[in-house]
Amino acid sequence: MRTFIQLCSIILMLGTAALNNAAIAGDLRAGHLLPIVGSVDSLQPTQSVGVLLSDNTRDNLSYLERYHDMALNGAKDALDSRIRAAFVNSSDPELAMDWLMHSLQGSFVSVTVYDNLDALVRAHPDVVVMLDTHNQLLTPRNDQVQARFVARFYDADLQYIAKAEGSVHRHVPSVWVRDKAAPEIAAQIEQQRDVQLDALKQFDASLKALMRAG
């Protein structure tokens, strides 16, 4: 019973962090670049890549940072350390971005992130990538965990080429069951990280297939 009450305490705080950014649970907002279909043959590992983060990605990073901070600092000493560690570990805001950038860097000769489209156009990279990310984590009102990562590729003239993507959705209802042992609850919460990792592995496979086609 005590573990359940403690869990409810931190979950209520995590729910507050999520509710402040409710728009994240919606569909990905459209990128600023128009989808004029080009040729996948124009993607080569010798090319330079300029990356733009969509508005949705920036909002999603803020959402993860708030969730992660609340898991790390909220209700200190009032929650079993294994459960707290699971919340912290499974909401790492750097996990997906580090993975996605590493994937792109392994596929192209150089990868640079730009603050805006004007700066990117001035740099004139061979390929432009609009990166969209979306995460949905556990709250008192949500037991659906999602991770979705999409990289849309454009040529130097901003004509759409193709996209690499990974997406996983999982229902995690049993976290809220009373009288469960802390290790079991922690294992359920860790599924949030597993969902991210599975979606990122899908993204890797999609990107590799795209490069082979090019």
**pLDDT tens digits, one per residue of 26-74:** 333 344 455 545 566 679 999 999 999 999 999 999 999 999 998 888 7
Mean pLDDT, all residues of the chain: 82
Percent of the chain at pLDDT above 70? 76
Cα–Cα distance measured from residue 181 to residue 19, given in angstroms and rounded to the nearest whole number:
28
Q: What is the per-residue pLDDT for 24?
A: 28
More confident: 213 or 154? 154
Q: How many Cα atoms occupy the beta-carbon half-sphere of 139 within 13 Å?
A: 23
Task: Determine the Cα–Cα distance for residues 96 and 131; give it in Å rounded to an integer.
Answer: 11
Local structure of residue 172 (DSSP, 8 states): -
Distance CA 22, CA 4 (A): 25
Name the residue with higher pLDDT: 178 or 151. Answer: 151
Give this prediction's pTM.
Answer: 0.82
